[in-house]
Structure 1
Amino acid sequence: MISRLFGTIISWEEDAITLRAGAVGYRVHLSPYSMSVLSGTDSESSELSLYTQFFWSEHQDSPTLVGFPTKEEQDLFLLLRKVQGLGPMTALRILSLPVEEMLSMISQGDVSRLKTLKGVGDKTAKKIISELKEEVQPISTPLIPAEPTGKNKTASLTDISSLVRETLVQQFGHTPIEASRLVAAALKKNPDIRTIEELFSEVYRIGSD
């Protein structure tokens, strides 16, 4: 059973990469979010670490290997797999936003936003919420007050920016310079950002442009 892979990316497809680990090249499917984040990095020249899940059944022509740059994304994928009717590739395609944002949507029962994700209709969105809402931790507490003072707002935004930059570097493979550029661009585009989730969401949108 393959549970972790360490290597360098040698080729890209629409929803997968080929990762060279030693003398072997593994074709690994990634979520739309991870594909977007990794495509903006110099990942071909640095080692990438992936958590992996392996699928193979009599109905498949070939085995399917899916990967996740973070344990949090893998855990969310496994949660989605608990929803009746969601196969591995469908669950993977749903992961098109940062984990924090996805968990917030589920915990808040936000059907309308879930329906905007690829492969999620009204029925599926309601099923995801009804079956998983109690299993996810609500992410709704902002990191700065609703009406912060100038000094507190600056300090809090500095903390938020540092945490997001660190995550982009350590978990998603960005260089420190690239992470700083993405965070700065996100804050410039949306100066009203107040939480880590909002900053990750804006960074993702910039990376997708």
Structure 2
Amino acid sequence: MIGRIRGILVEKAPGQALVECAGLGYEVDIPYTTFFHLPETGDEVTLHTHFAVREDAQSLYGFASSLDRDLFRLLIKVNGVGPKLAVGILSGLDAQQFIRCVENRDSASLVKLPGVGKKTAERLLIEMADRIGQLEGQFVPTSPETTGVGQPGGQGPAGGPAATEEAEAALIALGYKPQEAAKAISKVAEEGMSSETLIRLALRNMIPA
């Protein structure tokens, strides 16, 4: 099991990071909440990881915190929730926000996530209610000022059409319909915003904390 990786961040994009460690480049699948925490390329980065082996693929998933990684491991144990959906859930809600949804039985926020229907949301609330106790000691309550869909790390490209298009493409890759993505980005777009900021604010509006 590969539980953590530390190395130089060679490339980063919404959903994936390339980390060079001891001369090897590791492609790591990441949720958007982790993407917002990544440093600039060329800097050192540490990710808490989960190594998944299937008959047709081997995948390394990375997370900014051990809490996010441990929650991911609990999510993929839920019936009907695979790694892809678990990453999607943690792209829209970080671990602390998800835990609050479970504690408050907030299915409304869960069904706004791509791939999570009403039945899946109810299943998550029921099954995770008994499991989040395993995360005891890692959950740190946050103030309203620090809640939201991730916090930005390094800034991406300067704002403009390229940043807007990249942000829309990222939301579509997450599972939102093109019309939903375009509408969400247009609501928050301001001159000079990076694609990271656009994605973060759009997700925050689509899935309120």
TM class, shorter-length: 0.5 to 0.7
Structure of larger gyration radius: 1
Instruction: Give the Cα–Cα distance (whole angstroms) in 1 for the partners of residues 144 and 37 of structure 2.
Output: 16
Distance 1:106 1:55, change over 3 A: same
1:104 is the counterpart of 2:50: no
> Which residue does 1:68 correspond to in 2?
63
Matches within 5 A, 1:119-138: 119-136=115-132
The answer as to whether partners of 1:106 and 1:133 remain within 8 angstroms in 2 is yes
Instruction: Give the Cα–Cα distance (whole angstroms) in 2 for the partners of residues 203 and 90 of structure 1.
Output: 17
Q: Structure 2-normalised TM-score?
A: 0.64
Distance 1:205 1:131, change over 3 A: same
Give 1:36 deviation, angstroms: 2.6
Distance 1:202 1:111, change over 3 A: closer
Counterpart pick for 2:75 among 52, 76, 80: 80
Aligned length: 148
Give 1:26 deviation, angstroms: 0.2
Structure 1 segments, 4+ long, off by >6 Å, are: none
CA-to-aligned-CA distance 1:81-121 (integer Å, 9 cap, x gap): 12111111211111022321110001111010111122211
Instruction: Give the Cα–Cα distance (whole angstroms) in 1 for the partners of residues 121 and 149 of structure 2.
Output: 25
Q: Percent identity?
A: 28
> Which residue does 2:147 correspond to in 1?
201
The answer as to whether partners of 1:107 and 1:136 remain within 8 angstroms in 2 is no
Distance 1:49 1:205, change over 3 A: closer
Distance 1:197 1:130, change over 3 A: farther
CA-to-aligned-CA distance 1:103-141 (integer Å, 9 cap, x gap): 00011110101111222111110000011113325xxxx
Matches within 5 A, 1:1-209: 1-38=1-38, 41-42=39-40, 44-58=41-55, 60=56, 62-95=57-90, 96-136=92-132, 196-202=142-148, 204=150, 207=197, 208-209=200-201
Q: Partner amino acid for 1:32? A: Y
Structure 1 residue runs of 5 or longer lacking an equivalent are 138-166, 168-194
The answer as to whether partners of 2:72 and 2:87 remain within 8 angstroms in 1 is yes
Q: Partner amino acid for 1:79? A: L
Q: Structure 1-normalised TM-score?
A: 0.64
Instruction: Give the Cα–Cα distance (whole angstroms) in 2 for the partners of residues 118 and 57 of structure 1.
Output: 24
Instruction: Give the Cα–Cα distance (whole angstroms) in 2 for the partners of residues 51 and 83 of structure 1.
Output: 21
Q: Partner amino acid for 2:68? A: E
